[in-house]
Structure 1
Amino acid sequence: MSYDRSVSAEQHALEPETVWHLQMPQIRFGRDAVEELGFQLGDLGVDEGAHGLVVTDENLAGIGHVDRVTDHLEDAGYDATVWKDVEREPSLEVVGECISFVRENEGEDGYDFYLGFGGGSCIDVAKTTRAVIANGGEALDYIAEPTGSGDALTESGPPLVLMPTTAGTGAEISPVAILSVEEQEIKEGISSNHIRADAAVLDPTFTTTLPPETTAKTAMDALGHAIEGYTTHPFDGLLRATDPQERPVYAGRTELTEMFSEKAIDLLSTNVRTAVHNGDDIEARAGMLKGALFGAIAGLTAGASLCHAMAYPVGNRYHTYHGETIAVLTPASTLGYNAASDPERFAEVSRLLGADTEGMGAREAADLAREEYVRLQRDLNVIPSGLNELAGITEDDIDWLASQTVETQQRLLRCNPRPVTEADATEIFRDALYNWE
């Protein structure tokens, strides 16, 4: 039995999972952690004099952050080439350009090490480039059928270090790289432990230059990871694979991921207002980056679910920011439709978000989570009020979005605590058009 079967399989066919697995990069966290970048590479076995590639974008190069990174690399005895052509919500074409750059400059063996520096887009391009160079071919070869060939990654390649400059995506520890397939208006993931980084260096001083809107958008993605990871299926409520290699990287929640989720929701919800309205507050910035890390450990191990599944068709068709899309979809999906799956658990989410649930029954308390989340968004004053304000989405667009969600995002819907039909998705998208007036 493989994971092709859903959790709604007939009872006689259901064999629950009995084993959970956690794999993480080395994690180095703290103010001025960039100063230990040379030590981190050495700890991964990268010799002095090695030649590496820094994958980043024009904005980070323009404000001097990239120079700060390359200066530390040079001081530690490393040679670094910078590729700064990453775009937001990167496409297969952009990844292909980075892979071609590597092959043209270093041949099929590529660089001695790779460093992804920036938001989730920069990090996912770095992850994919390193993996494809190590395994051969092109990125499309490793995207699941029918979009790609569905080939398995078998090699990790030279050391990869990831340095996030936003507190949100969790891409620095994720075993998935998300890419746009523009001609099909979809997003697809390359999912494998071989795409995961060897180390993540998280330095909150790089996040103080984030403008309020970007701070809020990325925070909502991080909060989405934490809440979705906290409310997804328990690992032993999913099906057991006959071969451990078939166990997916999104494998259900455990007691360990629940602890990270709880702390992440607390850190993010208590620090985001300060970080948005006073971006120079380094303590709030550190709390946000730590919350995003914890949320990713939880959500990207246990598994993102319905909200992320709905967000990918929206983002690919309308070119919206991922975190902003998560923000407008979470009230109707995770905190609306899914709340009926486990009222006690969602009541705890309400409490973690700061709601006073004293004297309430579980179902009533669970409904407060949506209310508290929307209050938080409105306090930030930079989040759209729904899909309509986000991208002009109307009733006429919903059928296509619902069908794309159900047809292309089963990898994520498999983890959702409630089964989702196309009719369900249609109603949830309709609910998400307006979160407040």
Structure 2
Amino acid sequence: MAGRDRVVQLLRQLVRVACRCPAHSNTFHQAATCTVRKTDYAFEMASSNIRYGEGVSREIGMDLQNLGAQNVCLMTDKNLSRLAPVKAVLDSLSKTGVRYKVYDNVRVEPTDTSFKEAILFAKNGSFDVFVAVGGGSVIDTCKAANLYASHPDADFLDFVNAPIGKGKPITRALKPLIAVPTTAGTGSETTGVAIFDFEPLKAKTGIASRAIRPTLGIVDPVHTLSMPERVAANSGFDVLCHALESYTALPYNQRTPCPHDPIARPAYQGSNPISDVWSRHALHMVAKYMKRAVRDPEDLEARSSMHLASVFAGIGFGNAGVHLCHGMSYPISGNVKTHSAKGYSVEHPLVPHGLSVVLTSPAVFSFTAPMCPERHLEAAEILGADMRQVKRQDAGAVLADTLRHFLFDLQVEDGLGAVGYSKDDIPALVKGTIPQERVTRLCPREHTEDDLSQLFEASMKIY
């Protein structure tokens, strides 16, 4: 018995010597890669601090005083700058005498150009705290401005996700950032992700690092009452897909590669037991409240609940990640030609992010269902499907049909064809999806370019 124990001990020592990843060694700072494990073995839980409550925006001036803020950068967009959410924040700052400057030139669906303009403003201002009041476009722009103002010598592509950018880790501390979301969709107040259109490729990409997530998210449900119906719908579709994609993403312990250093572990790690709780609960809230929130802008309970659902889904996907719906959505938004989105005060063609994500959802979840049918069936049941006599092999069809009914009830455009695309555009859409490895690699089912082509083709018409 002693001899057997000695053999086991020697084998364990060999493993430690062969692999210098943090799973097996305390010398992982020297490692280049893990030579034993191909897949990851751990996940991390990270989120911004969140404060929720009706009228809580009036506290932000005190928060800035408590931070010792001397020179605050407040970012928003031109439409919001005239509305109640920004006025509430500015009133709070004025009451406490905090010095600030407003940047209101944020672009809805930002681009690398609009990011750079905001970054230049931030660099020239020498700000010590950032405040973002708006939807995901505003919060993401403010994250980027804070990042590059804190790294004034960095090239723009240094921190942009590979393969478009260099994907360098962020090692320097950023300034505090307080996010005040005015839409119930992106969950950007909880995540370390900033998304933009990279104009040279006509595709979305972004920056993903826990280092850029807001210090505090102030979630004031009163602000969601200002959302027009279509904005509420498209924001809600983003919540829906965040929850569905993170819940069905590749499990964290099947994701490759195993990081050689904790700093190399991505923000999007794959589905895991903690993110599952948030994603599943967000899905329940979407099923209960989204249609009410869209149809009645004065329904404070429904709009407040969708605001919380956005936070919950943000915590879920901010740690688990999303996959094909989001990966395919980026070229849909980036290649838009003439579509004019209802309810958005913009002068440029626009397929709103939530709409670009949800249009492919029936096709995507029909495709991914064979990899984890139980999760797809559970999602369908939460969304109201009749599960009597349903079999495991029906999971994809059942969830796809459930989503079609959900979208039809909320008067969503009938597929990619209804927002200006045709089959001739599919090669460009596939080309724009390929660089989105940060998310597409989390799809539970391996896929080829031909698979992507078929999914885009199946999404040309939904009903």
Q: Do Structure 1 and Structure 2 share a fold, with TM-score over 0.5?
A: yes
CA contact (8 A) 1:2 1:246 kept: no
SS in structure 2 of the partner of residue 178 of structure 1: strand
Q: 1:116 aligns with which of 111, 132, 140?
A: 132
Q: 2:121 aligns with which of 91, 101, 104?
A: 101
Percent same amino acid at aligned positions?
30
Q: Which digits, 9 at most, give the CA deviation of each residue in 1:198-251, with x for residues without a partner? A: 111111100101111110001001110000010011211223212111111100
Is 1:233 the equivalent of 2:250? yes
* Shift in Å, 1:366: 4.6
CA contact (8 A) 1:2 1:241 kept: no
Aligned partner of 2:271 in structure 1 is: 253
Question: Mapping of 1:279-358 within 5 angstroms?
Answer: 279-318=297-336, 319-333=350-364, 335-358=365-388
The alignment of Structure 1 onto Structure 2 pairs a total of residues equal to: 417
Aligned partner of 1:52 in structure 2 is: 72
SS in structure 2 of the partner of residue 177 of structure 1: strand
SS in structure 1 of the partner of residue 301 of structure 2: helix
Aligned partner of 1:242 in structure 2 is: 260
Q: 2:110 aligns with which of 65, 75, 90?
A: 90
Between the aligned partners of 1:220 and 1:2, the Cα distance in structure 2 is: 43
CA contact (8 A) 1:260 1:298 kept: yes
* Shift in Å, 1:21: 0.5
Aligned partner of 1:135 in structure 2 is: 151
* Shift in Å, 1:2: 12
Aligned partner of 2:196 in structure 1 is: 179
Q: 1:209 aligns with which of 214, 226, 232?
A: 226
Aligned partner of 1:410 in structure 2 is: 437
Unpaired runs of at least 5, structure 2? 1-18, 22-34, 337-349
* Shift in Å, 1:71: 0.7
Between the aligned partners of 2:296 and 2:82, the Cα distance in structure 1 is: 23
Q: 2:87 aligns with which of 67, 73, 87?
A: 67
Question: Mapping of 1:21-36 within 5 angstroms?
Answer: 21-36=44-59
* Shift in Å, 1:161: 0.6
CA contact (8 A) 1:347 1:367 kept: no
Q: Which digits, 9 at most, give the CA deviation of each residue in 1:375-419, with x for residues without a partner? A: 1111112x21100002x211111122113212x111111111001
Between the aligned partners of 1:189 and 1:66, the Cα distance in structure 2 is: 26
Aligned partner of 2:63 in structure 1 is: 40
CA contact (8 A) 1:385 1:435 kept: yes
| More displaced stretch, 72-81 vs 305-314 | 72-81
Between the aligned partners of 1:400 and 1:14, the Cα distance in structure 2 is: 36
SS in structure 1 of the partner of residue 362 of structure 2: coil
* Shift in Å, 1:365: 4.5
SS in structure 2 of the partner of residue 354 of structure 1: coil
Between the aligned partners of 2:74 and 2:91, the Cα distance in structure 1 is: 12
Q: 1:422 aligns with which of 430, 433, 449?
A: 449
Letter in 1 for 2:235: T
**Distance change (3 Å), C-alpha of 1:34 and 1:430:** same
- The root-mean-square deviation of aligned C-alpha atoms, in Å, is 1.9
Question: Mapping of 1:347-426 within 5 angstroms?
Answer: 347-381=377-411, 383-390=412-419, 392-406=420-434, 408-426=435-453
Between the aligned partners of 1:305 and 1:2, the Cα distance in structure 2 is: 30
**Distance change (3 Å), C-alpha of 1:414 and 1:145:** closer
Unpaired runs of at least 5, structure 1? 4-11
**Distance change (3 Å), C-alpha of 1:152 and 1:17:** closer
TM-score by length of 2: 0.86
Between the aligned partners of 1:68 and 1:62, the Cα distance in structure 2 is: 11
TM-score by length of 1: 0.91
* Shift in Å, 1:164: 0.7
Between the aligned partners of 2:268 and 2:281, the Cα distance in structure 1 is: 20
Between the aligned partners of 1:144 and 1:276, the Cα distance in structure 2 is: 34
* Shift in Å, 1:146: 5.0
Between the aligned partners of 1:413 and 1:331, the Cα distance in structure 2 is: 17
Is 1:264 the equivalent of 2:282? yes
SS in structure 1 of the partner of residue 387 of structure 2: coil
SS in structure 2 of the partner of residue 163 of structure 1: strand
